[in-house]
Each structure stands twice: as C-alpha cells, then as structure tokens.
C-alpha cells in the first residue's frame, strides 16, 4: 500500500497484485522495470496498467507467436525489397559501365569524354546512395530481428509458466523433474520432491468466490517461490496442488524447507477489502520424498503424493515425510 501511495496509483486489485509481486521479488525483470520508474519519478496509472498487462495478465501464447510471425514476415519482405532495389541499381550501373567501355573504344573528343565522365559519376553516386540505403535497411532489420528474437524468447518463457500464478506449469515441472532426476542418478547427489495441497480450498472457494480463490492460489505460489532458492523449482502441479523440486537437498533439509513454507502460508490472514471482514487463515499440507536408487520420476511422485495425503489424513496443516509414512495409512482427499 505504501508503494501504491508513493506512485500515486489507485489501489485497484491488479495494481495491488503488481506491487505485491514487486515486493516479493519473484520476478527480477519486473523489479528492474519498477525500480527504474521509481528512480525516474515517472510512476503513473497508465504505466502500472502496461506493466500489469506485460508481466501478470494472462495472454494467449499462440496469439503472441502469431503477432511475432507477422512482424518477422513484414521485416523479411522489406529486406527482400531493399535487396531487389539494390540489385536493379547494380545491374543498371553495370550496363552503364559496359556501354562506356564500348564508347571508349571509339575516337571521342574532349566534350564527349567530359559528358561520359559526368554520366559515370552520376551513376556511381546513385549506386553509392542505393548501397547506403541498403545498409540502413539491413541495420534496421538486424535490430528488429533481434527484438523479435527477444519477443520469441519471452513467449517461450511465458509458455513455461502457469498463467494464473506465474510460477512454472505442469509441463515445466515434468521437464525439470526429469532433468534433476537424471543429475541425481548420474552424480549421486540427493534430490527431494515436495508436494503441497491447500487445505479445504474447495470450501474456501465456494464460500468466498473464485476471484478470492485465485488470489489465494497466487499468494501460496508466491510464498512457495520466495522460500526456495538456487536450483530449486516451484511449480503449480494442478488445481490447488503445488510442487517444489529440491536438488542437492537431503530429506532432513527438505522437511525444514517445507515446514518454513507451511508456517509462512499459515502466518497470512486474509481480509475482505471492502468490509475488512476476516476470511481466516490459509493452511497447507505437504508431503516430502527423497530419490532412491531404482526410482523413476513416477515412483518418486507417487511416494510424495502418499505422504501428502497421509498428512491431510493426519489432521492437515503439517509436513509428513516418507520416513513417517505407514503402509497402512488410509488415503483420503
């Protein structure tokens, strides 16, 4: 709220979300842009809207790819036109030189030689101008293509993120787990997997509405991401379930990380802004499993999943590791 007041930006939900993301530091690119704006003293509602649309608003990746493709096609067409023009000028210049070469074989007086020299000079200048224009267009195209490449990289990055929570999506999780799994198997380093499920989320969602539920999902995602570091990877696994891949972390360390996340989530009390009505606190249950020789990604996920639902069965708002897992635990949602 202080940041909103500092920028004289109205406290609309999207702007609150924007500066909440900034305050958590989960998006370095966003923070760099906001820091520059605050340094320049140019914060406006319009700028905040643009930043929200760029960094937080869900956008269709196919639409963005289509837009980049159209821009790329336009730029390539412009390059082709510039090259065609330069080639036509070069051909005309070559014809002029050949014609002059033929004329020089004949006897020419001083006036005729002077006229030929002026004509050749004019054609040479025209050729130089054409080459200069081609250079300018190629330079502009090079810059545009570099910008388009950055846009494509950004689209690729966006395609790896969950559009609602802005942490990695399920596809990225699957790829990240396989990579970490192969590293742990090849190098003999520890690897843990944590699964997290928001307690009673459906009841909360049904009571307070899907918009409030979406804010809860974002809050949990940001809390999860801000409490891991290094090679760790936070992802939305599906629905109200999240995951964290913890390379080079043993089971004891993973349990500590998970419990810190659980406490950080529980510490946040939700208020309805319009009435200051207390909506309660969010809690989460977590299961933690560690890679063992002979594991597959599926078997590691299955053990972490059993731990998660055993934690929910044991009373929720707790972390349960595979060392505490009992074979006879009844799994309930």
CB 290 within 8 A of CB 191: yes
Task: Name the token pair of 295.
Answer: 């594991």
**Cα 257 from Cα 234, distance rounded (Å):** 12
Per annotation, catalytic residue among 240, 269, 322, 324: 240
Long-range contact list for 305-314, CB < 8 A, 24+ apart? 305/195, 306/331, 307/195, 308/195, 308/196, 308/197, 308/241, 309/333, 311/285, 311/286, 311/287, 312/197, 312/199, 312/285
- Whether 240 sits among the annotated catalytic residues: the reply is yes
Q: How far is CA 172 from CA 156, 198, 235, 238, in A?
A: 11, 21, 8, 12
Distance between CA atoms of 21 and 24, rounded to whole angstroms?
Answer: 5
Q: Burial, 230: exposed, middle or buried (Cβ in 10 Å; 0-12, 13-18, 19+)?
A: exposed
Residue 134: both structure tokens together: 């081609």
The catalytic site residues sit at 240
């Amino acid at each position: 709220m202080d940041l909103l007041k500092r920028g004289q930006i109205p406290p609309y939900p999207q702007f609150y979300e924007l500066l909440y993301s900034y305050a958590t530091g989960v998006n370095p690119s966003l923070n760099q842009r906001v820091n520059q704006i605050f340094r320049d003293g140019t914060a406006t509602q319009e700028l905040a809207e643009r930043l929200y649309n760029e960094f937080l608003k869900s956008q269709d990746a196919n639409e963005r790819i289509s837009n980049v493709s159209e821009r790329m096609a336009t730029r390539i067409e412009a390059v082709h036109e510039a090259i065609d023009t330069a080639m036509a000028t070069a051909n005309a210049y070559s014809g002029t030189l050949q014609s002059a070469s033929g004329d020089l074989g004949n006897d020419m007086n001083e006036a005729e030689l002077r006229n030929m020299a002026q004509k050749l000079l004019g054609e040479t200048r025209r050729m130089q101008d054409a080459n200069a224009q081609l250079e300018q267009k190629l330079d502009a195209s090079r810059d545009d293509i570099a910008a388009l490449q950055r846009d494509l990289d950004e689209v690729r990055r966006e395609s790896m993120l969950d559009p609602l929570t802005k942490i990695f999506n399920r596809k990225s999780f699957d790829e990240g787990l396989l990579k970490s799994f192969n590293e742990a198997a090849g190098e003999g380093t520890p690897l843990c997997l944590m699964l997290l499920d928001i307690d009673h989320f459906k009841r909360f969602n049904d009571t307070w509405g899907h918009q409030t539920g979406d804010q809860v999902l974002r809050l949990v995602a940001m809390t999860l991401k801000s409490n891991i570091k290094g090679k760790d990877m936070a992802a939305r696994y599906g629905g109200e379930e999240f995951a964290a891949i913890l390379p080079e972390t043993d089971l004891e360390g993973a349990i500590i990380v998970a419990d810190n996340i659980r406490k950080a989530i529980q510490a946040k009390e939700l208020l309805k802004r319009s009435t200051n009505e207390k909506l309660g606190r969010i809690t989460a249950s977590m299961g933690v499993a560690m890679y063992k020789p002979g594991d597959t990604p599926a078997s590691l996920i299955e053990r972490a999943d059993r731990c998660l639902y055993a934690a929910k069965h044991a009373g929720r708002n707790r972390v349960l590791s595979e060392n505490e897992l009992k074979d006879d635990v009844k799994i309930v949602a």
